[in-house]
Every structure is written in structure tokens, then in C-alpha cells.
Amino acid sequence: MSAVRVGIVGLGNVGSGTLRLLHGNAGQIASKLGFPLEVSAVCSRGVLASPPEAVSLHPAASRTANWKELVNSPDVDLVAELVGGTGVARKIVESAIDAGKPVITANKELMAEHGATILARARKRGAWVGLEASVAGGIPVLTALREGIAGDGIDTLIGILNGTSNYILTEIERTGAAFESVLRAAQDLGYAEADPSADIDGYDARSKLAILAALAFGVEVAPRQIPVEGIRRIRTIDFAYAGRLGHTIRLLATARQEPEGLRLAVRPSLVGVNTVLSGVIGSYNALWVHGQGGDTFYYGKGAGPAPTGVAVVSDLMAAARDLKTSGSQSAPPFGHVSLKPHAPVPGGTEVHQFYLRFRVRDRPGILASLTAALADQGVSVEAVLQEPHFDREDLPFVTTLEPTTRQALDSALDAMRGSDFLVDEPLAMPLEPTLMTS
Amino acid sequence: MSAVRVGIVGLGNVGSGTLRLLHGNAGQIASKLGFPLEVSAVCSRGVLASPPEAVSLHPAASRTANWKELVNSPDVDLVAELVGGTGVARKIVESAIDAGKPVITANKELMAEHGATILARARKRGAWVGLEASVAGGIPVLTALREGIAGDGIDTLIGILNGTSNYILTEIERTGAAFESVLRAAQDLGYAEADPSADIDGYDARSKLAILAALAFGVEVAPRQIPVEGIRRIRTIDFAYAGRLGHTIRLLATARQEPEGLRLAVRPSLVGVNTVLSGVIGSYNALWVHGQGGDTFYYGKGAGPAPTGVAVVSDLMAAARDLKTSGSQSAPPFGHVSLKPHAPVPGGTEVHQFYLRFRVRDRPGILASLTAALADQGVSVEAVLQEPHFDREDLPFVTTLEPTTRQALDSALDAMRGSDFLVDEPLAMPLEPTLMTS
């Protein structure tokens, strides 16, 4: 059978990784599909002047700096958008759809912000959109949710979806170094951006959670509807205290189907050291899923040219197969023929055990004052932990709280605010209830 | 859109689990597909006299004890074969194919033994076969290999694919009880069959490995082509010695693309305690996959009505979607349009570090005699371990070997055979080289 012809827009790391895989695995891809995938065109701003090395693996591909030319070329059957961002990338994706061409994207920001609109347009035009590469890089979590466990009634997702923040947290855990120095080292190594906000403030994980929620629960979630806390305030001492509680700290993206509705959040949390999530170290990503069929867990590299390239190529293969079978459609990209709007449940009503870390100027009566503020809101202290520490002007200690609502806790924190013995705002993190143990 | 109608043959645990999910998740399934799945017929030998409870959830389904009637009914669009075995089950599957109906099966034995033949027949007839439920129950490993990471060039699979043997091994590990008593307890609890051979001698895992190899490497493997060793000879003391080496013991199904070819095996092996595989406990299953895109890891319940039911229902959804889109085909069930015959590589040529456990009648000179037999074959001892033990008539001790071939090791073991100080055959297990650490 004749080849299906692929056009690739965006030749950075992921684009180059995709080109290398399409070259290196060409034989295997053809034996899986029954026909070859051929790169017929590549596009990037600099491809004419200084093409990336991987372009030379596909000498027959035409080169252009004009994405419109590529998208509308009669020699391109499928388009991969590997540009990123929500500006030009959106135009590329929509133009491909309008041209009736399936389009593959690695763009979590675009799909989280405008996915539902884009997919409605694609559906109308009969063009499929592949987005496996947009979440958790090389781990096929979207395929798992959309196909592999489509028949499950999922009630809980817990993900570690941002490799940079997981790298930083687990480096602090491993080395005991301070947040700032680990971040700087990660930036020097190229693991973190010069402006690390998207990663360490949780926005990247939040976009990915919005996409996962669409697949698992059939809802259209705007990322801004998801409460988010990042990891900037985590200190080395928090790992010591968490360790004394048999826990460690991870930035978790959680989705829970509760009686009131679907509750979504991204925030640093305590996870038991004997759970599979505590075993996720460095830049690995993971997703734990619970439903009527029990629990499943997916683990792998969340980013990088080769892992993300695998996701792009796998989606290209699915789209190519669809084209060959008279243009029929695979499962809808978000797993549901249409999405319901997400109605966020009121914040703060869910019940958690909390870890609450204070930094104080030591003097008599502090504990009495703090626990009184908590008691006023009906919040009980479970335990008080204090590691040996010598700076009496900045003394950290931790209380763990009996299960309470975030609301009650926040009221108590409000009442404490302004106490002259507090060096800064107390840090509150929920303890994740028991997960599948490893 | 009108419903797609499902007929289910076999109403045991998995059949009942499937019926419960199709009832409980009906709304969600319809919102994913855009049309409902409806159970129009059920079949089992006893369904007329004493239908399982789950049948009552589908009062409109016709009931029959005659599978031919169900398969050929004009009211059945899709058939699920949940009978098991390779006799009637094969006839059911082939009849459904001949009737042009997609068929979903949970039958690893059938698919491992006759999968290629059945799939060729299905392909000719344009009927899709779904087999996600046949390997690792609720973990969508086949979908991952077939779709999610289809674009990867996979070089290694390592699986824990039999829940019963993993339960037994990890119970020995946890409690220190003897193999026989753990097996008996597992049988009492219904986790192990009265005849446990398929599980504990590795045959079940071997069938599943044959299926995984087809998906990952495009080869048609007969289970008997795969060398297999079970766990009967593992003793409590082996966990103690493995622990001293920083390892534990798991029954691993492995597939490795080596320069000589594809090497497949099922055998108990030592895995490092800091690897994700050592964290797989109880009846959980897991699969670790390595390819050009790095490594991914899949973990979950390998059996049970709900996990396996999720796999069946997910496949039914994919098949139903295909039917609605003018009968086109999803990815081929084994991920490749056709399979190459598997040419096993010669046994024993791969290089491993080995764990070698002896049981001896203690007397001077034993170690010299054993190490001489090893040295004669060019095999070097790395370390000798001996836990305190008081039965001088049955004294266990362990040597670890520098990397060597199984062939050389077997020649040395042959030379030792018949030594009057050996209480029984030495037990050799490979040490799995480092995997992704958890």
C-alpha cells in the first residue's frame, strides 16, 4: 500500500526526536501498519538557513519556513504541530483541521486552554486530533484512559505530571540542599527554564490535569478553574518532618469524583513512603488511577525528545491507519463524543489530614496560642514535631492535624495572621490518604 | 444513535464482572461512544436453570445454553468469549469471526496457542478480535503496546504476569513461611487452583509472554518455544540470601531483542530491592518496557472480575465504535498486519550473573570441590554467603557468580551431579541487571 505522508511543523527537541524515530523505526512502523509513513515536508523558521541534523535523515522531505504552505500541501496527509504555545500553534492546528487533515500535537497548553473548541471543529470536519504527547511524554496515559480502560468508571486520578518540579523535590529529598540551590542547578543543567514559573508554580501540571479530567470524566475544564499551589515554599526541613511522619513530598495533580462533584487540585502533598508515588523520582512522571476495576499505575519519562517523539509517532500511526480505512475516526481525542462543562465544587470543603509547618521566633506560649486558634475553628492537633534546631529567631516546627476542612484550617490561619512571633505564613499541605502501596 | 448489541458467552467471574460494569457504567459508556452498548444475549451451560445474579441486571437479554444460537443471533452485533480453555472457546471465537462479528476474548491460552491462526481468519473476514483481557487483567498493556507506544522500537519487556505466583513469593518474603504452607493457604483462599501447576510452574505467564512478544516484536511465538522454570523450588532461605545481596525474588517473564535474535524466558530471578519490580506485591501484575523512548512501567490488578471486566468492556467499546464507523478496523489485535515466525535463539548463550544456592551435608572440602567444578568451566565465584544454620545434614549456602553463560553453568552443575554431599540439585537464578529504580 502507498505511504501516508507526514508534514512536521516545529523542529526543536520533540520535532527532531520524532524525525529520528520515523527514520530509525521505519521498517517496524511499516510492518505494524501494512504501509510506510513518509516524512514529506518539514517546517521551521530556521529550516532553510540551518536545518537541525535530524532533517537530513529525510532527504526527500521538502523544507519550508511557511507553515501554511506545509499544511495546505497536497503532499501532506497528516500534520504534526510541534511548535508549542497558543498563538501560531493554534492557527496551525485549526488550519490543518479545516483542510480535513488529522493533526497531532504535543501542546498541552493549547489543548488545555482551547481543546474543547478545537475538538468540536475537528469533529465537524471529520479530522482526528492526536494529543498523547501533550501529557506525561512517553507514558501512554491518554491512550490508556481513552481506550485501554475506557470501560472503567474512574473515581480518582493522582498524577505527578511535571518532571521539573519532581526533579527539584526529589533532589532536595536526596541531597538535603536548599530549594534555591537545587533550582539553580536544574537551570544550569537545562532541566528548568530561566523563568521556571510554569513548572514550579504548578501551571504546567494544571494544564495536563485539565486534559486528563476531560478524558477520565468527560468534562471541559478550563485550567483556571483548578486551584493550584506550587513548590516554592517547600524547604529542606519539610522533608525531614515528612520523613518522621513516614511520608515524603510530591507535587500532586488530583481529580476526585466526590458526591458534590468533581474536585480538582494541584498542590504539594505528603505521600506515604510505602506508596508507589513516593517511588517516582527525578524527572519521571506517573499517574495512578482508581476506578471500579481497582487501581492501575503508569510510570515513565514525562519529557524529552525520544519519549515525547514516541507519543507523536504513535499518534501519527493511529491517524494514518484511520486515513487508510476510508477516513473513519478513532476514539474521540478526549474519549467522549462531547464534554460537559465542569462545575467546580466549592473550595475548601473536602476533609484532609494536614501537615502544618510553622517558623517562629521562639518564646513561651506560642504553641498554646497556635493551638487555641486551631481549636477555635474546631481543628484538633494530632501531633507536634520539632527537630533539634538552634536558631531561636527562626525555629521551624510542625503540627499534624486531625481530619478537617481546608476552610476551617484557613480560618484558623487567618486568625494567626499578624502574630508577631510568626516568621512567615504557615505552610499547610494535605496528607494523601493511602494509595496502592508498592 | 442506535445501540450496539453484545452477546456474552461464559458467565463465570469475568462474565459476571462484565455484566456488572455494562450495567453500572452504562451512562458513561454511552457518553463516551455516542451510543449505548446493550447486552442482548447471555449464554452459559447453567443460565436457564440458575442464572448468576449479574444476569438480572440485564432483564432484556435473551438467555440460552447454546452458544451457537447466541453467536448467530441477528440480535447480537459483538460477541464476548469468556469461557476459557482451547476447546469450545476456539469454536465460539471462530464462529463469531465466520459470522463477521467482532469478538472479544479473555482467553490467554487460546490466543497464545492459536492467536496467529485466529487473527488471520479474522483479518480475512474483516472481524476484529479484542484480547486486552487476556494479559494482565485490568492493566491495559496490550493497548499500550499496540497503540500508546506503537511508535517505539522496543528492545526489552520484563513482566510479572502471574498473580498467584507473585502472591506466593511475596507472602514467603513477608511472612517467612514455607512455600508449601503459603501455597496451601492460597488454595484455601481461592487464590490458587487445586492443581496449581499452570500458575506456579510458569505456564500461564508463558502464554501471556507469547502474546506480549507478538505485540511488541511482531513475532508468532508458540508458548512451547519459550523456556520456562517455575517457583516450586524457591525456599524461604532464598529470600534471606537474596536480601543480603540487596535483592528479592520474582517470577519474571522476559523478552529481549539481542543481536542473535529475540530471547524469551520465564523464570524466577533476583531483582534489586530498589527497582520498581521489587515493589510489585501480592496478586498485582506489572510490565516494564524499554525502548528508544526510554522506559515505561504499567502496574495493576492482573485478575479478578472487575479488573478483567474493565478490559473486556473497553474492548467491546472499541469494537462497537468500529462497527459504527462503517466496519473499519482498529489496529490489528497483535499490533502488526502480520507476524513473522519466531526463531528461538540457542538457549544458554546469554550472559548473566547468577545466584546459586546449594544444600549440602556439611563436611570439609565441599566449597573447594564445588568451586573447582565451576572453575573447570571458566566460571568465577564472586561471593560466598552463609546464614547461620544448624542442620549440618542440610546446610544451605549461596554463591554468586561473575557473569557467565547458562551453558557454562549447566556444564558445571552436570559435573557436580551425584556428589554425595549434595542434598538436592543446586538452584540457579539469574540476577536481573539494573532496571529503572523506584
Interface ipTM: 0.93
On the CB side of A223, CA atoms within 13 Å amount to: 21
Residue B107 pLDDT class (50, 70, 90 cuts):
very high
Closest residue, chain B, to A19 (C-alpha): B151
Q: What is the percent of chain B with per-residue pLDDT over 90, rounded to a whole number? A: 87
Q: Are residues B389 and B369 in the same domain?
A: yes
pLDDT in tens, B51-67: 999 999 999 999 999 99
Do A325 and B328 make contact, defined as CB atoms within 8 angstroms?
Answer: yes
| Across B176-198, average pLDDT | 93
Q: Is B60 exposed, middle or buried (0-12, 13-18, 19+ CB in 10 A)?
A: exposed
- Local structure of A250: helix, strand or coil: strand
Which of B166, B170, B292, B325 to mutate: most A Cβ within 10 Å? B292
Name chain A contacts of B132, Cβ cutoff 8 Å: 148
What per-residue confidence (pLDDT) applies to A1?
Answer: 77
Q: What is the number of other CB atoms lying within 10 angstroms of the CB of residue B378? A: 12
Q: How many angstroms away from the CA of B254 is the closest CA of chain A?
A: 19
CA atoms of A207 and A204, how far apart (whole Å): 5
Q: Decide if pLDDT at A47 tops 90.
A: yes
Q: What average pLDDT does the structure give for chain A?
A: 94
| Non-local CB neighbours of A331 within 8 Å, separated by 6+ positions | A146, A147, A150, B32, B318, B321
Q: Quick check: A326 and B328 CB within 8 A? A: yes
3-state secondary structure of A95: helix
A238 and A149 in a single domain? The answer is yes
Q: Within this chain, do residues A281 and A314 fall inside the same structural domain, yes or no?
A: no
Residue-by-residue DSSP string for A354-384 = EEEEEEE---TTHHHHHHHHHHHTTPPEEEE
**A95 and A179 inside one domain:** no
Q: Are residues A365 and A312 in the same domain?
A: no
User: Does B132 score more than 50 pLDDT?
Assistant: yes
CB atoms closer than 10 angstroms to residue A193 = 13
How large is the average pLDDT for residues B327-340? 81
* Residues B162 and B295 grouped into a single domain: yes
∠ CA B351-B356-B362, rounded to 5°: 155
User: So what's the pLDDT on residue B118?
Assistant: 94
Is B437 inside a domain boundary? Answer: no
Residue A436 covered by a domain? no
Catalytic residue (choose from A101, A108, A208, A301): A208
Cell readout for A91 is 492557527
**Stretch (H or E) spanning A316:** helix A305-324
Do B290 and B365 have their domain in common? no
* Boundaries of domain holding B389: 351-431
CB pairs < 8 Å spanning A and B: 225
Confidence of residue B276 (pLDDT cuts 50, 70, 90): confident
Binary contact (B293, A307; C-beta < 8 A): yes
Cell numbers 458513561: residue: B28
Domain assignment of residue A346, yes or no: no
* Closest Cβ opposite residue B132 in set A24, A148, A310: A148
Secondary structure of chain B in HEC code, one letter for each residue = CCCEEEEEECCCHHHHHHHHHHHHCHHHHHHHHCCCEEEEEEECCCCCCCCCHHHHHCCCCEEECCHHHHHHCCCCCEEEECCCCCCHHHHHHHHHHHCCCCEEECCHHHHHHHHHHHHHHHHHHCCCEECHHHCCCCCCHHHHHHHHCCCCCEEEEEEECCHHHHHHHHHHHHHCCCHHHHHHHHHHCCCCCCCCHHHHCCHHHHHHHHHHHHHHHCEECCHHHCCECCCCCCCHHHHHHHHHCCEEEEEEEEEEEECCEEEEEEEEEEEECCEHHHHCCCCEEEEEEEECCEEEEEEEECCCHHHHHHHHHHHHHHHHHHHHCCCCCCCCCCCCCCCEECCCCCCCCCEEEEEEEEEECCCCCHHHHHHHHHHHCCCCEEEEECCCCCCCCCEEEEEEEEEEEHHHHHHHHHHHCCCCCECCCCEEEEECCCCCEC
Pairing of strands A284-291, A154-160: antiparallel
β-strand A247-258 against A154-160: which pairing, if any? antiparallel
Side chain identity at residue B65, one-letter code: A
Give the residue from chain A lying closest to B318, CA to CA. A147
Q: A140 vs B296: CB contact, 8 Å cut-off?
A: yes
Task: Judge if A296 and A158 occupy the same domain.
Answer: yes
pLDDT band, very low/low/confident/very high, at B387 (cuts 50, 70, 90) = confident
Structural domain includes residue B436 = no
Residue B438 — pLDDT band, cuts 50, 70, 90?
very low
* B13-49: b (≥16 Cβ within 10 Å) or e: bbbbbbbbbbeebbebbbbbbebbbbbbbbbbeebee
B251: domain CATH number is 3.30.360.10
Residues of chain B with C-beta less than 8 angstroms from the C-beta of A153: 21, 24-25, 28
Give the distance from residue A368's alpha carbon to the nearest chain B alpha carbon, in angstroms.
41
Residue A145 has pLDDT above 90, yes or no: yes
Going by the DSSP 8-state scheme, the letter that residue A74 receives in this structure is T
* CB burial of residue A222 (10 Å; 0-12, 13-18, 19+): middle
Are A48 and A62 within one domain? yes
Tell me the C-alpha distance between B276 and B284, whole Å.
12
- Nearest CB neighbour to A144, from listed B32, B144, B337: B144
Q: Which residue of B has its CA nearest to A335?
A: B32
Q: Which of A132, A322, A436 is facing B148, going by the closest CB pair?
A: A132
- Interatomic CA distance for residues A158 and A252, integer angstroms: 6
Contact check, Cβ <8 Å, B294/A304? yes
Question: Which pLDDT belongs to residue B346?
Answer: 87
Residue A124 among the catalytic residues: no
Q: Best residue in B299, B316, B334, B336 to probe A by mutation, most A CBs within 10 Å?
A: B299
Judged by DSSP in three states, A267 sits in: strand
CA distance B292 to chain A (A): 6
The CB-based long-range contact list for A62-66 (8 Å cut-off, 24+ gap) reads: none
- Whether residue B394 is predicted with pLDDT greater than 80 in this model: the reply is yes
For A118, B214, B298, the CA distances from B210, given in Å and listed in that order, are 41, 6, 18
What pLDDT is recorded for position B298?
A: 97
| Averaged pLDDT for residues B34-38 | 96
Question: What is the DSSP code (8-state) at residue A26?
Answer: H
Q: Within 13 Å of residue B353, how many CA atoms lie on the same side as its CB?
A: 15
Crossing angle (nearest 10°) for helices A13-24 and A305-324: 60
Reported as a single tens digit per residue, the pLDDT across B277-293 is: 998 999 999 999 999 99
Domain with B369 in it: what CATH number? Answer: 3.30.70.260
For B117, the grid coordinates are: 491462526
In this complex, do B293 and A33 lie within 8 Å of one another by their Cβ atoms? no
> Taking CB atoms and an 8 Å cutoff, what residues of chain A touch B328?
322, 325-326, 328
Phi, psi dihedrals of residue A326, rounded to the nearest 5° = 50, 40
Q: Which amino acid is at A354?
A: F
- Note the pLDDT tens digit of each residue in A272-322: 998 889 989 999 999 999 999 999 999 999 889 999 999 999 999 999 998
Min CA distance, A366 vs chain B (Å)?
40
Say what the pLDDT of residue A327 is. 55
The answer to whether position B143 is within a domain reads: no
In a 3-state reduction of DSSP, which class is residue A313? helix
Residues A287 and A377 in one domain: no
pLDDT band at A438 (very low <50, low <70, confident <90, very high): very low
A360 contacts: CB under 8 Å, gap ≥ 6: A366, A394, A395, A397, A421, A422, A423
B105/B180 same-domain check: no
Give A-chain residues touching B250 at CB under 8 angstroms.
none
Which CATH number does the domain housing residue A99 bear?
A: 3.40.50.720
Measure the N-to-C terminal CA separation of chain B; round to a whole number of Å: 47
Using the beta-carbon criterion (under 8 Å), do A300 and B294 form an inter-chain contact?
Answer: yes
CA distance A402 to A398: 13
Nearest to A429 by CA among A207, A251, A274, A258: A251
pLDDT per position as a tens digit, A255-276: 999 998 999 999 999 999 988 8
Same domain, A146 and A203: yes
pLDDT greater than 90 at residue A105 = yes
| pLDDT tens sequence across A220-260 | 999 999 999 999 999 999 999 999 999 999 999 999 999 98
In whole angstroms, how large is the CA radius of gyration of chain A? Answer: 24
In this predicted structure, what is the pLDDT of residue A437? 47
- List, for residues A373-425, the tens digit of each pLDDT value: 999 999 999 999 998 877 889 999 999 999 999 999 999 999 999 899 999 99
This prediction's pTM:
0.95
Nearest CA-CA partner of A82 in A168, A6, A140, A194: A6
Residue B309: C-alpha distances to residues B19, B289, B301 (Å): 8, 24, 11
Under 8 Å between Cβ of B258 and B350: yes
Q: Which residue has the cell 492460597?
A: B186
Q: Which three cell numbers stand for residue B210?
A: 507469547
A438 is a domain residue? no
Which tens digit of pLDDT belongs to each residue from A149-199?
999 999 999 999 999 999 999 999 999 999 999 999 999 988 899 999 999
The grid coordinates of residue A271 equal 505521600
Q: Rounded to whole angstroms, how far apart are CA atoms B427 and A59?
A: 55
Count of domains forming chain A: 3
Question: What is the number of other CB atoms lying within 10 angstroms of the CB of residue A247?
Answer: 23
- Alpha-carbon distance of A407 to A226, in angstroms, equals 17
User: Which residues of B are designated catalytic?
Assistant: 208
Q: pLDDT tens digits, residue range A17-42?
A: 999 999 999 999 999 999 999 999 99
Taking CB atoms and an 8 Å limit, are A279 and B312 in contact across chains? no
